Amino acid sequence: MSSRLIKLIGWWQIACAALGLGAYLLFASGIISGGRAWIQHVLGYPLWLTGVLFFVVAIASGRAFIRGRSWGLPSTLAIQFAHSFWFALLGGPHYQVASGPKIGLTASSYRIGFTFGFESAFFFGTRVSGPSWEFGVNILAVVWTVLLFRAWIARDDDRRVVPSAG
């Protein structure tokens, strides 16, 4: 994996996770009107704290990945995999985790859409309104996940010592 691609993935992960963390902290501080009520009545403190932890880990793993730390590659791979897809069912589970750029394809009970941009999201819960079902794929995150997985496998292959035949 080229150093340029490592920096690209790492810095986007850091930047988008910092935006997500900043938003969560703004909600908690009360600077955003209704932010504390949103945390208490919609999100809940356990999920809010888990989101803060996710964004902190995403920032730390992005930094470790850029700096070549041993845990940087697998943790960045996990973060990218986590936001490769999302889904929601009305009255059922809703999963959406993201920290990075997005080239996405979304299909729902009433539309199919293509999205492009940057995303910081963290939500596990129950969908209470909206389409009856929704599923999405972040194509860029899937590509980055595959590249990171291949780099991880190649790294493990390089560590294996093969005894000489002679």
Q: Is residue 83 part of a domain?
A: yes
pTM of the model: 0.86
- The residue ranking higher by pLDDT, 26 or 158, is 26
Q: How many domains does the chain have?
A: 1
Residues 30-48: tens digit of each pLDDT: 888 888 998 888 888 899 9
Asked if the structure places residue 166 within a domain, the reply is: no
| Cα–Cα dist 48/122, whole Å | 9
69 inside domain: yes
On whether residue 164 sits in a domain, the answer given is: no
- 3-class SS of residue 100: strand
Please report the pLDDT score of residue 44 as a whole number: 87
Percentage of residues in the chain having pLDDT higher than 90? 70
For 108-120, the pLDDT digits (tens) are: 999 999 999 988 8
DSSP state of 42: I
Structural domain includes residue 105: yes
153 domain residue, yes or no? yes
In a domain, 110, yes or no: yes
Mean of pLDDT over the chain: 90
Tokens 């340029």, residue located: 4
Range of the domain at 121: 3-159
Euclidean distance between CA atoms 130 and 118, whole angstroms: 22
Query: In the chain, at which residue ranges do the beta strands (DSSP E only) sit?
Result: 85-89, 93-108, 112-126, 133-138
Q: Is 19 inside a domain boundary?
A: yes
